[in-house]
């Protein structure tokens, strides 16, 4: 010890270098660990003053260089060694029978509380780093008395606030450990200064818990005698407590940013500060209770599990029945909930997203206290639940504050890409194996951050869950407001009511899986049924109670000014004229699409509440959902699809198709009622079509009802082109489904026809010469001019009964008279009753009828098909000359299908009736393609670039038709030559198998026309030459094929 004290005595402290001072203090720290047990008070005080001088730069007066942090840290550790509390186990073994540690510590504490030592203690309280804060905590907890604490409270709170907020730091947040220690020091200082126990002892406040306490307060008539002030101390008085309470409220408000601190240590420290002050200063700092409670509520929503659990457990403990602050804290939480709901209409238009999200999280945390506790009504949480229910009940005044909230809640959609075919319809038709349907998101116009709107949704769900059935009144009121208007307020009312209903039932509308309900009550079921019925009636446009969007009137109670958020520069009029300017047209607030989207969400929630009991509502709700799916608005279509999936899942159906098949009669009835003379809905046909496509092959068992309904409506509305087109499309869809069934196809026997053999090459010329010599010779064909009279219809002796029997047996053995199946009979009925629409004034209807007939050809046998085709043949031929190209394409496709399936019937019709029209079409297409923007631009090119043009489809159908007409028949040479001359142009771009087939029966003609097209010499066939057509490569392929087949 002597060498160390010699350095200090022989040198000025300012002359000792920092490094030497640091080592000296570290050595003293080691010595003080043992010296503490037998050190006298004077030595202990001198060492304390020495360390305090180095910590607070009090070595000498004047401008002296400040010691470095290492030296100050060594002094702090030495001071900690002098002041920290010790146990018996830490006593040195070499010390014989020393005094107990608590006796030694009490000796130092008594000396520290003396008037002489207090100034030294006050000058030491200067925070620097974590070590200093640890020292301060020890000093405040052990050495600073309750009487002296009010003296240092203002400076202590101010300094700790600056440290916790990192105001003195040059960058970012303060260190988490520093924030934690600073808040713990502040907590100790506040509790020892203005804690309930201290102020009750001083007589500043009274803790009234029973009637005896009230009697004692009434008996106290005299003023409380204040103690005389001591040196270096501030006396506690009522005025001092009032002023200190206000100052502490301001200081605690400054700590609000710490709620967003990025470290868990700082957040846990703030949670500890809030819970400790709530519990220890409920009587002295009542004005700080809401602020401290808001800290705990916000921290209970933290992403750090340790922070959220600490804050939540603190709230549970403070609001438990055994807590003395439980009841006033619950009342404070209820007031906070009402104040926040009243503040939202003012905050939302101001675009204060962070503030709105913060408040919404606090309300959700309040409701979480009720949601997470048992629902037996026990404890103080039943008071909180009843308070929330009262706020949303008949006496809560939702008509006032709720209307103000609806006024500022305007919705909009996120930017999306609109497709020609709605995504929902595509998924319905092609499957949803890897898709989970969700409702399109509606965003609030005044909210820019997505997390803010999510917080609002969670808040309203939590309020509904906390309030329970008492919130049903608000749901009914909001549904009534939303059902009576389709403007922005009506949309907001339905949206808000849906969120509350989700909370009451205990689930979210966006969840695909149906959860177990938290509540099951008859009242909720009854209200849900009424909501389903009222939402379904919104699609009933002929409802006399429905108010049109153009007739919407502003409510007289709406006196809130319209707040607009405008960016940019407002340009002034150049003339600066003063007077009445042009009237501003009021903006349109009708939002029918948003209104329908939110109504579908209400239907989805209602289905999840009722589950199997929702079956009685399907008669009213299925059509609105399906009507939304066929909407051209993509977002509404997606909403309808999500609602249909949610309803099917809620009712335990494996898929929406199973739901519609089981309730197909409901759908058909709804469509029938909306296709009547009293009420005509054009979209009803689209609804029926999408249902048939969704159900698929299973709709066959209901096909008869569908067909009957379609023909009844065709008779009623045959003059309405839109209705006729839709009904024909439905019939076509039925035939398409029948065609997709494998067992519905007719198995036709391929007619082999006469086998045409080519004579050997060496005998061809001889046979030709013989024929040529006798081509005009008619002598070999003598005619018998004898008149024999009429011949009997049957042989003699054959009775009429035998004739009938023979006819019946012939019919049974005739393959063309095969018995038709029920599906084929239904298809025959459709074909026979739709051919009359081939003369309809609508070109779209004519094309759809032709396509329908094309789909029916593979299904029907010849006995059921050919009669209708023969009857409609003149009309089909006329369609080949129609003015609309797509009608001509459909007619050509029908002729192609007929030629491929009933070639024996179509052979003569194709060559006599169709081929002349094909020639005209080819000439017209050649002219049209030369003017088309899609035509090929290479020299001599034929056709168009795209394979989806009407021109390409017509060419393809004509080639296939003529190919089918030439199979196994002897074609007239002139007709074959003419066809080859027209079709050779297509060899310029690609090889067609149709021409190869025609070459088998007309090898000479094919060789002549192909060789003449590419010939370079002058011959008698030079008129066939087309130098612009590069067909040499393709023609060689065909000629080689002919050589292999015919031996030429």
* 3-state secondary structure labels for all residues of 814-862: CHHHCCCCHHHHHHHHHHHHHHHHHHCCCHHHHHHHHHHHHHHCCCCCH
Q: What is the mean pLDDT of residues 472-500?
A: 93
Cα–Cα distance, 260 to 165 (Å, whole number): 11
Between 138 and 626, name the one with better pLDDT.
626
Structure tokens given for 392: 């949303």
| Secondary structure string (H, E, C) spanning 630-683 | CCCCHHHHHHHHHHHHHHHHHCCCCCHHHHHHHCHHHHHHHHHHCECCCCECCH
Q: Which of 280, 308, 52 is nearest to 186 (CA)?
A: 280
Is the CB of residue 252 less than 8 Å from the CB of residue 212? no
Q: What SS3 class is residue 910? A: helix
Pairing of strands 411-413, 442-444: antiparallel
pLDDT tens by residue, 791-817: 554 554 445 455 545 545 544 445 445
Q: Which DSSP string do the residues of 159-180 spell out, in sequence order?
A: HHHHHHHTSSSSSSSPPHHHHH
Give the model's confidence band at 1035: pLDDT under 50 very low, under 70 low, under 90 confident, else very high.
Answer: low
pLDDT at 707 over 70: yes
Give the model's confidence band at 998: pLDDT under 50 very low, under 70 low, under 90 confident, else very high.
Answer: very low
105, burial (CB in 10 Å: exposed 0-12, middle 13-18, buried 19+): middle
* Helix extents (H) in 36-86: 41-55, 69-83
Give the model's confidence band at 512: pLDDT under 50 very low, under 70 low, under 90 confident, else very high.
Answer: very low
Q: What is the sign, positive or negative, of the torsion defined by CA atoms of 478, 479, 480, 485?
A: positive
- 453-476 burial, b at 16+ Cβ within 10 Å, e below that, comes to bebbbbbbbbbbbbbbebbbbbbe
Residue 121 pLDDT: 66
9, burial (CB in 10 Å: exposed 0-12, middle 13-18, buried 19+): exposed
As a dihedral over the C-alpha atoms of residue 480, residue 482, residue 483, residue 487, rounded to 10 degrees, the angle is: 140
Give the model's confidence band at 687: pLDDT under 50 very low, under 70 low, under 90 confident, else very high.
Answer: very high
pLDDT tens by residue, 241-259: 889 999 999 999 999 999 9
Beta strands per DSSP E along 404-497? 411-413, 442-444
* Helix extents (H) in 537-633: 592-610, 618-629
Cα–Cα distance, 196 to 69 (Å, whole number): 39
Is the CB of residue 482 less than 8 Å from the CB of residue 404? no
- Which residues is 411 bridged to in the sheet? 444
User: Average pLDDT of the chain?
Assistant: 76
Tokens 């299925």 belong to residue: 622
Could you give the angle at the alpha carbon of 154 between the alpha carbons of 153 and 156, nearest 5°?
65
Q: Which of 515, 541, 525, 502 is nearest to 624 (CA)?
A: 541
**pTM listed for this prediction:** 0.73
Q: What SS3 class is residue 1015? A: coil
Q: Which of 336, 190, 201, 384 is nearest to 274 (CA)?
A: 190
pLDDT tens by residue, 74-103: 888 888 888 888 877 777 766 656 677 777
728, burial (CB in 10 Å: exposed 0-12, middle 13-18, buried 19+): buried
Residue 228 pLDDT: 54
Domain ranges within the chain, ordered by starting residue? 383-549+589-661, 663-746+818-875, 876-1046
pLDDT tens by residue, 1023-1033: 444 544 555 55
């Amino acid at each position: 010890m002597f060498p160390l004290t010699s350095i200090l005595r022989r040198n000025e402290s300012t002359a000792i270098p920092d490094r030497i001072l640091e080592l000296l203090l570290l050595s003293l720290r080691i010595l003080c660990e043992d010296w503490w047990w037998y050190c006298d008070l004077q030595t202990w005080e001198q060492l304390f003053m020495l360390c305090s001088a180095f910590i607070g730069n009090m070595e000498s007066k004047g401008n002296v260089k400040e010691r470095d942090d290492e030296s100050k840290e060594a002094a702090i550790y030495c001071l900690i060694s002098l002041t920290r509390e010790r146990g018996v186990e830490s006593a040195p073994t070499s010390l014989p029978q020393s005094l107990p540690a608590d006796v030694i510590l009490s000796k130092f504490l008594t000396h520290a509380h003396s008037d002489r030592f207090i100034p030294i203690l006050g000058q030491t309280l200067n925070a620097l780093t974590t070590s200093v804060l640890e020292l301060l905590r020890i000093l405040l907890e052990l050495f600073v008395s309750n009487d002296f604490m009010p003296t240092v409270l203002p400076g202590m709170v101010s300094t700790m606030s600056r440290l916790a907020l990192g105001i003195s730091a040059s960058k970012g947040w303060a260190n988490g450990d520093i924030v934690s220690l600073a808040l713990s020091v502040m907590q100790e200082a506040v509790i020892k200064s203005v804690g309930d126990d201290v102020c009750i002892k001083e007589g500043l406040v009274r803790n009234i818990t029973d009637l005896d306490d009230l009697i004692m307060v009434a008996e106290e008539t005299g003023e409380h005698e204040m103690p005389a002030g001591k040196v270096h101390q501030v006396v506690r008085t009522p005025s001092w407590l009032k002023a200190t309470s206000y100052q502490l409220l301001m200081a605690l408000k400054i700590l609000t940013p710490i709620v967003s601190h990025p470290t868990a240590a700082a957040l846990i420290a703030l949670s500890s500060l809030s819970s400790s002050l709530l519990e220890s200063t409920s009587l002295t700092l009542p004005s700080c209770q809401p602020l401290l409670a808001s800290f705990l509520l916000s921290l209970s929503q933290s992403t750090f599990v340790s922070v959220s659990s600490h804050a939540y457990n603190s709230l549970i403990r403070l609001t438990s029945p055994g807590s003395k602050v439980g009841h006033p804290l619950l009342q404070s939480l209820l007031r906070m909930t009402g104040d926040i709901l009243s503040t939202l209409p003012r905050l939302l238009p101001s675009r204060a997203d962070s503030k709105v999200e913060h408040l919404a999280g606090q309300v959700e945390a309040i409701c979480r206290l009720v949601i997470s506790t048992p629902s037996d009504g026990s404890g103080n949480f039943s008071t909180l639940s009843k308070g929330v229910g009262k706020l949303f009940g008949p006496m809560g005044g939702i008509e006032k504050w709720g209307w103000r909230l609806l006024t500022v809640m305007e919705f909009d959609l996120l930017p999306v890409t609109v497709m020609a075919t709605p995504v929902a319809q595509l998924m319905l038709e092609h499957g949803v194996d890897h898709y989970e349907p969700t409702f399109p998101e509606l965003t609030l116009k005044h909210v820019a951050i997505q997390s803010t709107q999510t917080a609002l949704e969670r808040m309203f769900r939590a309020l509904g869950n906390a309030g329970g059935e008492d919130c049903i009144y608000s749901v009914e009121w909001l549904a009534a407001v939303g059902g009576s208007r389709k403007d922005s307020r009506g949309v907001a009312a339905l949206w808000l009511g849906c969120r509350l209903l989700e909370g009451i039932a205990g689930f979210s509308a966006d969840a695909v899986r149906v959860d177990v309900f938290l509540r099951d009550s008859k009242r909720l079921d009854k209200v849900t049924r009424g909501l389903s019925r009222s939402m379904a009636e919104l699609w009933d446009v002929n409802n006399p109670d429905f108010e049109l969007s153009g007739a919407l009137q502003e409510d007289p109670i709406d006196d809130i000014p319209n707040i607009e958020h405008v960016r940019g520069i407002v340009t002034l009029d150049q003339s600066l004229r003063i007077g009445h300017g042009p009237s501003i047209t009021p903006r349109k607030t009708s939002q029918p699409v948003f209104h329908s989207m939110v109504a579908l969400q209400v239907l989805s929630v209602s289905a999840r509440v009722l589950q199997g009991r929702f079956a009685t509502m399907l008669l009213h709700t299925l059509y609105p959902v399906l009507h939304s799916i066929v909407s051209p608005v993509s977002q509404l279509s997606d909403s309808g699809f999500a609602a249909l999936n949610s309803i099917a899942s809620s009712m335990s159906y494996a898929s929406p198709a199973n739901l519609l098949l089981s309730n197909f009669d409901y759908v058909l009835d709804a469509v029938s009622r909306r296709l009547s003379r009293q009420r005509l809905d054009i979209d009803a046909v689209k609804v029926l079509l999408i249902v048939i496509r969704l159900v698929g092959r299973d709709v066959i068992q209901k096909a008869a009802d569908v067909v009957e309904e379609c023909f009844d409506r065709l008779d009623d509305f045959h003059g309405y082109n839109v209705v006729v087109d839709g009904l024909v499309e439905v019939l076509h869809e039925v035939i398409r489904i029948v065609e997709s069934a494998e067992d519905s196809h007719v198995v036709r026997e391929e007619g082999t026809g006469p086998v045409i053999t080519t004579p050997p090459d060496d005998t061809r010329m001889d046979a030709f010469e013989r024929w040529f010599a006798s081509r005009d010779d008619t002598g070999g064909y003598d005619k018998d001019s004898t008149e024999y009279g009429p011949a009997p219809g049957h042989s003699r002796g054959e009775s009429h009964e035998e004739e009938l029997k023979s006819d019946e047996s012939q019919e049974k053995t005739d393959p063309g008279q095969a018995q038709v199946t029920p599906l084929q009979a239904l298809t025959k009925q459709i074909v026979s009753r739709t051919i009359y629409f081939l003369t309809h004034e609508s070109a779209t209807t004519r094309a759809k009828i032709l396509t329908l007939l094309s789909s029916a050809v593979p299904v029907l046998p010849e006995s059921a098909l050919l009669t209708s085709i023969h009857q409609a043949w003149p009309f089909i031929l006329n369609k080949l000359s129609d003015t609309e190209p797509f009608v001509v394409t459909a007619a050509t496709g029908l002729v192609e299908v007929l030629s491929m399936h009933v070639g024996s019937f179509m052979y003569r019709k194709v060559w006599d009736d169709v081929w002349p029209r094909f020639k005209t079409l080819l000439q017209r297409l050649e002219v049209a393609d030369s003017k088309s923007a899609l035509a090929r631009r290479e020299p001599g090119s034929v056709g168009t670039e795209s394979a989806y043009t009407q021109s390409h489809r017509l060419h393809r159908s004509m080639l296939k038709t003529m190919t089918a007409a030439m199979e196994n028949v002897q074609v007239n040479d002139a007709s074959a030559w003419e066809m080859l001359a027209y079709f050779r142009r297509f060899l310029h771009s690609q090889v067609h198998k149709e021409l190869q087939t025609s070459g088998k029966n007309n090898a000479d003609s094919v060789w002549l026309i192909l060789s003449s097209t590419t010939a370079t010499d002058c011959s008698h066939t030079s008129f066939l030459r087309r130098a612009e057509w590069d067909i040499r490569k393709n023609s060689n392929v065909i000629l080689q094929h002919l050589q292999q087949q015919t031996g030429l």
